């Protein structure tokens, strides 16, 4: 039977879509359901291909999983359970930490890169990070124009100019206060 220190030192390897190989501590890699499932079926010596993950995304994922471990150790509670904690002081302290962590984690991500990162996180099936990134995306597109959101998500406008003008007139209140992108 392995000790916790030996378990932490176990490494697994992944290869991102741009060819970069990452050696990850097994306990951190298993935070990703896709990686966990892969290594439940294949040898730990196998290099897992990650065709939907770029190296910069993997660096961010490792940073996130490491921070989550620190958070769980600091508060003695699983990350997903922090929001449902009944201890008021613990909730406030954890909430402040989470907000600061979320802001710091996402400060270098443009909206476009956030979309790509969301796709990678979805592929790897990391629920807690998906929740955080979705909230960041929601905050990021708040009060943005329809055109900005269409461009960001690659959505084609399926309205004619006449139809769009009709809806803009009919629902003018929806378009009030939106940031106009230049």
Domain ranges for the chain: 8-142, 143-177
Per-residue confidence (pLDDT) for residue 178, from 0 to 100: 79
The CATH number fitting domain 8-142, selected from 3.30.360.10, 3.30.710.10, 3.40.50.1220, 1.20.1600.10: 3.30.710.10
Arithmetic mean of pLDDT, 125-150: 87
SS3 54: coil
Q: Which two tokens stand for residue 158?
A: 């399926």
Tell which residue, 123, 16, 127, 141, has the closest CA to residue 64.
127
**Would you call 11 helix, strand, or coil by DSSP?**
strand
Q: Report how far residue 30's alpha carbon sits from residue 35's, in angstroms, rounded to the nearest whole number.
A: 6
Rounded CA gap, 113 and 119, in Å?
10
Which structure tokens are listed for 159?
């309205």
Tens-place pLDDT, residues 147-157: 888 888 889 99
Tokens describing residue 132: 């955080």
Backbone angles phi, psi at 87, to 5 degrees: -80, 115
Contact criterion met (CB below 8 Å) for 118 and 134: yes
| Model pLDDT for residues 54-103, shown as the tens digit of each residue | 999 999 988 888 887 787 777 776 666 655 555 666 666 766 777 777 77
Question: What does the pLDDT average to over 124-153?
Answer: 87
User: What pLDDT is stored for residue 47 in this prediction?
Assistant: 95
- Max alpha carbon distance in the chain (Å)? 71
Q: What is the average per-residue pLDDT within 153-167? A: 92
Confidence (pTM): 0.75
Placement of tokens 């995304």 in the chain: 57
């Amino acid at each position: 039977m392995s000790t916790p220190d030996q378990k932490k030192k176990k490494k697994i390897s992944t290869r991102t879509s741009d060819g970069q190989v990452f050696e990850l501590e097994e306990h951190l890699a298993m935070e990703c359901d896709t990686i966990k499932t892969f290594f439940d079926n294949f040898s730990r010596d196998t290099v897992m291909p990650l065709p939907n993950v770029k190296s910069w995304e993997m660096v961010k994922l490792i940073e996130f999983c490491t921070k989550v471990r620190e958070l769980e150790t600091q508060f003695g509670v699983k990350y997903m359970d922090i929001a449902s904690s009944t201890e008021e002081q613990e909730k406030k302290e954890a909430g402040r930490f989470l907000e600061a962590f979320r802001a710091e984690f996402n400060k270098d991500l443009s909206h476009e890169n956030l979309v790509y990162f969301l796709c990678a996180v979805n592929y790897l099936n990391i629920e807690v990070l998906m929740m955080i990134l979705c909230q960041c995306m929601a905050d990021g597109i708040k009060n943005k124009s329809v055109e900005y959101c269409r461009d960001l998500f690659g959505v084609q406008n399926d309205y004619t100019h006449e139809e769009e003008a009709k809806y803009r007139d009919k629902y003018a209140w929806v378009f009030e206060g939106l940031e106009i992108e230049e």
